[in-house]
Amino acid sequence: MDVILNINNLTYLNIFENLSIYLEKNKIITISGPNNCGKTTLFKILCKKIKGNFNIILNSKGIYEFSDKEYDDNIQVVYQDEKIISNNTVKELIDIQQERYDKEKVDFLVKGLKLKKVLNKKIYELSDKENFMFRIAFSILNSKCLVLIDDIDQYLYQYEVAELYSFFRECTNKYNLTFILTCIELDSAIYSDELYIINDKKITLKGDPLYVLSKDNILNKIGLEVPFIIDLSVKLRDYELIDKIPLDQGELINKLWK
C-alpha cells in the first residue's frame, strides 16, 4: 500500500481524540459525519492553518518539515466559505498565471469543469457554483500531490457531483493526484474509493463506501441519512432479490425488471 498521508492519533481540543487516518495515493477519499463533527477543522489542521504538536506525515515527511512554499505546492484546499475576489475576468486571471501552468492542463480543466462559458465573466460576477468550480480548477492546477475540497455537494445537484467525481478520477490518473473530499449528503460518497465517518471525536466507520453505507443502524443513530437507493438495495440484497448494490436508480430498476 502506497500511503500518501498518515494522520496519527490526532487529538485537538474537544473535537478529535486519537483520530487516525491512513490514505493511499491516487485515490478519492470522502469524509462525512454529522454537523460540527470536525471536517473543516481537520482540513485546517492539514493545511497548517491550525498548528499544534500533531503527528501528520505527507509523503514520508512531517508536515512541519516542509517550507510554506513547498507545502503549498503539495497540498491545496477549497473551503466552503472562501471565494476568489477579483476585478479580472476568469480568462484574464488564467492568462496572468499562464506562465506557471502547462497549457494542456489548463485547457483540460477549463473543459472538464465547464468553465468555458464563464471565461469572459469577471470573478466577482460568478455565481457561488461557478466560483466554487473555478477554485477547484486553481487548486488542481497548483497542487502536485493532494487536493482537499470541503462540502463537495454544497452548490451542486447530485448528477453534477457524480460528474465531478468522474472528473477527479481522470485527474488521479492523468496528474497523479489524490483527493480528499467532505460531503453533506451521503449520496455523494458512493463514487469515492473510501469513505470515513467521523463522530464523537473519532472514526466511527471506514472502508468501501457501499460497505459503510450498508451500516444504516449506525449511521441513523448518529443522525446521518442513508441514501434511499442504497437502503433499498441492501434490503433487496438481504432477500436475495439482487446480488450487488447498484449505484443509481436506473441500474436498480433494470436489475428488478430482469
What is the torsional sign of CA 127, 168, 200, 210?
A: positive
Domain contains 229: no
| In contact, 163 and 204? CB cutoff 8 Å | no
- The backbone torsions φ and ψ at residue 247, rounded to the nearest 5 degrees and listed phi first, read -95, -10
As a whole number, mean pLDDT of residues 8-12 equals 92
Confidence check: pLDDT of 35 > 50 = yes
For residue range 193-225, list pLDDT tens digits in order. 999 999 999 999 999 888 898 888 899 899 888
Domain contains 227: no
Domain contains 231: no
Nearest to 86 by CA among 142, 138, 43, 148: 138
Overall number of domains in the chain: 1
What pLDDT sits at residue 31?
95
Domain contains 203: yes
As a whole number, mean pLDDT of residues 125-139 equals 92
Q: What percent of the chain has pLDDT over 90?
A: 54
CATH at 178: 3.40.50.300
As a whole number, mean pLDDT of residues 223-236 equals 73
| In contact, 132 and 80? CB cutoff 8 Å | no
For residue range 92-104, list pLDDT tens digits in order. 888 876 667 778 8
Domain contains 93: yes
C-alpha cell at 174: 492523468
For residue range 67-78, list pLDDT tens digits in order. 989 999 999 999
Domain contains 252: no
Domain contains 56: yes
